[in-house]
Amino acid sequence: MVELTLYGVDASPPVRAVKLTLAALNLPYKYVQVNVAAREQFSAAFLEKNPQHTVPTLEDGGNFIWDSHAIIAYLVTKYASSDELYPKDPLKRAVVDQRLHFESGVVFAAALRSITKLVRASIAVPQERFDAIVEAYDFVEKFLQDHEYIAGKSLTIADFSLISSISSLVVYVDIDQSKYAKLSTWMKKLQQLPYYEEANGKGAKIYIDSIRATKFTLAS
């Protein structure tokens, strides 16, 4: 019997990527909300689970895994009935892995996290932070040039990882459908997944609403 527990924060894009993967695999799990505002992630109990004190953290049978990319790859490898979401073919897997690294380094770290830190600290945002988001959109549009999904002809965990971050970035830079036709179509396609709203849509709205409430400004 599968006994999974996901520790997370609803607004977090990496947490939402894991939720999308769990939903796609139809895996039951317990969800534990971590109160990061109260620094619960630094408690002795949580540090025993994850010394890096990050979310998402997954518990599976007393074993703990953190980092969303590690978690979603693990879930598919262990529990999926096929390798469609994370192909075993070396070339196809390499493309998925590249997109995952792109999400973590370019989209999440350079574009999303960097601007979010400024906004949360009430610091006016320099133009270069918005430019980094536009650059991320440009790359994704190119990745989608010849196929429907981010890493090829079928849905993979790379799509889950990227949609969680990009659906958050829109609060800073809206997506121009005329300029980013492929990106816009891809987003709409993922939004039609039966589990999208529960796994990602609701959390993305929480994130977006919290950012809008800051009334962030552009540095002069």
CATH number for the domain that contains residue 180: 1.20.1050.10
Residue 85 lies in a domain: no
Distance from C-alpha of 202 to C-alpha of 16, rounded to nearest angstrom: 9
Contact (Cβ atoms closer than 8 angstroms) between residue 168 and residue 12? no
Residue 33 lies in a domain: yes
> Which tens digits make up the pLDDT trace of 3-61?
999 999 999 999 999 999 999 999 999 999 999 999 999 999 999 999 999 999 999 99
> Which tens digits make up the pLDDT trace of 122-155?
999 999 999 999 999 999 999 999 999 999 999 9
Question: Which residues participate in catalysis according to the annotation?
Answer: 12
Look at the chain and report how many structural domains it folds into.
2
Which structural domain range is residue 185 located in?
90-213
DSSP secondary structure of 150-174: TTBSS--HHHHHHHHHHHHHTTTS-
Residue 23 lies in a domain: yes
Residue 48 lies in a domain: yes
> Which tens digits make up the pLDDT trace of 58-109?
999 999 999 999 999 999 999 999 999 999 999 999 999 999 999 999 999 9
